[in-house]
């Protein structure tokens, strides 16, 4: 299961970068997001045995989600809570569309990857909190 964790990292890295980005992005941010996105696609292609059509569909989906998140983040009339709500909605939409792109078997494996990543994030947050408590 350890070999699946990099896939999860890539998937959530895009979202995490988008969530934590300032409304004014530095010029290099888009290149970093694009690299994470490509790494994620490469890993999904390998681990889920994606077809070229699936790769194209997932790339298009990820681009649309990224654009939506940027629009939400740049909306100065929306408070942080509302932005989080909309971004969560985008994640749910992303998952729904992924279920239509992937086969049932691939989607089951994809969901397992997401669960493992969530577990890893929880552990990482706990470690950060532990370090902060000691300082």
Taking the chain, what is the end-to-end CA distance rounded to the nearest angstrom? 33
Domain count across the chain: 1
Q: Give the pLDDT band (50/70/90) at residue 134.
A: confident
Statement: the pTM of the whole predicted model exceeds 0.85? no
Q: What is the DSSP letter of 86?
A: H
Q: What pLDDT is attached to residue 11? A: 58
8 A C-beta contact, residue 48 and residue 106: yes
Angle at 33 between CA 104 and CA 93, to 5 degrees: 35
Token pair 């929880």: residue:
122
Residue 2 pLDDT > 70: no
Q: Give the pLDDT band (50/70/90) at residue 126.
A: confident
Domain range spanning residue 71? 2-134
């Amino acid at each position: 299961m350890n070999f699946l964790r990099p896939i999860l990292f890539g998937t959530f890295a895009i979202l995490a970068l988008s969530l934590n980005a300032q409304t004014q992005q530095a010029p290099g941010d888009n290149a970093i997001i694009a690299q994470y996105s490509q790494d994620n696609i490469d890993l999904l292609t390998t681990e889920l045995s994606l077809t070229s059509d699936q790769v194209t569909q997932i790339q298009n989906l990820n681009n649309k989600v990224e654009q939506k998140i940027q629009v939400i983040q740049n909306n100065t009339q929306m408070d942080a809570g509302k932005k989080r709500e909309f971004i969560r909605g985008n994640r749910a939409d992303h998952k729904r569309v992924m279920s239509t792109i992937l086969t049932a078997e691939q989607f089951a494996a994809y969901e397992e990857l997401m669960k493992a990543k969530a577990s890893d994030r929880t552990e990482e947050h706990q470690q950060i909190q532990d370090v902060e408590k000691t300082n």
